[in-house]
Amino acid sequence: MSTLTLLALTGLGLGALYFLIASGLSLIFGLMDVLNFAHGAFLTAGAYAAWWADGHLPFYLAVAFGVAVGAAIAAVVETALIRGLYARPREQILVTVGLGLAIPALIQGVWGADARTVTPPKALAGTVGLLGARVPTDRFVLLAAALAVFAGLKVFLAKTRYGLVVRAGVEDRAMVTALGIDVRKAFTLVFAIGGALAGLAGALGGVYFGSVSPGQGTSLLIFAFVVVVIGGLGSTDGVALAAIAVGLIQQFTNYYAASGLGDLAVVVMLALVLLVRGNPVLDRVAASVGAAVKSSVGRAA
């Protein structure tokens, strides 16, 4: 019983981390139709910002700093690079892929390629006894953060003015602009929220894994894409359920089968989902990539 409890809560903690990453990715792609391959780089930047600040500030302020850095980088990227590319998918892909490579490379150039150890505060370094198991405290912190983000996104999308403006602006940007509403500010806000969620995932992920590294965001981004594909684009509920399923399957498979097979189990799960039903997320990804290729061929001709 204690083993099952520990595995379940560890899997839920990992699923919560995946949700924090995937929710920002789904928000940007679902509402703004931007396939943001730089999302993992935002996570890495937030993780290193929190790690650096942890040596100078209390832990909760270090996490807030990581969130702020993720949001700031995302807002700058949207304003300076993405704003003029909403109708140009080829350039979107090239810019975000380039940023996804450049930001981790810059971090590696500053702090090196070796992983940096994250030392959690005493409040998170211990364990909590539950059903005979000693569960690390940081699992509960991740779960609490994921629940708070889940509730916040639901309110933002359904109840706030900016959430409604973004949804309307995606459907008919010209009409919303004609009404005197500045859609650009709302789009920048969505990008900043996505970057903030990535920064939060990076800061808390450093505690979960015990270290940060330049390639951490890229590897976690793969699972975030899997979660979005399984959960459904723009569906907060679906992304949350998919993140939980992926985290639990990964943990239980690694323990009861062999270490490393959890990743394979997630891929098998993804394949089964795609076989059972078509997936609109992949259709939109394919459409974005296809439009980019078509644009490139057309210009070359």
Per-residue pLDDT tens over the stretch 135-161: 778 888 899 999 999 999 888 877 777
d(CA 154, CA 160): 10
Closest CA to 246 of 219, 226, 273: 226
pLDDT at 301: 41
pLDDT tens digits, one per residue of 228-259: 888 877 678 889 999 999 999 998 888 887 77
Instruction: State the number of CA atoms in the 13 A half-sphere of 108 facing the CB.
Output: 14
Report the mean per-residue pLDDT for the chain: 82
Domain boundaries, the chain: 2-300
Instruction: For residue 35, give both structure tokens.
Output: 């396939």
| Listed ranges 193-207, 261-275, 280-294; the one with the highest mean pLDDT | 193-207
Q: Helix 216-231 crosses helix 236-256 at what angle (to 10 degrees)?
A: 120
d(CA 127, CA 137): 5
Average pLDDT over residues 165-183: 61
More confident: 274 or 25: 25
Contacts by 276-282, CB closer than 8 A, 24 or more apart: 279/229, 280/232, 280/233, 281/228, 281/229, 281/232, 281/233, 282/229
pLDDT tens digits, one per residue of 177-211: 665 666 677 778 888 999 999 999 999 999 889 89
pLDDT tens digits, one per residue of 210-225: 899 999 998 899 899 8
Q: Are 214 and 43 in contact (CB under 8 A)?
A: no
Q: Check if CATH label 2.30.29 holds for domain 2-300.
A: no
Beta-carbon contacts of 22 under 8 Å, excluding residues fewer than 6 positions away, are 223, 224, 225, 227, 228, 231, 239, 242, 243
d(CA 54, CA 48): 10
The model's pTM: 0.86
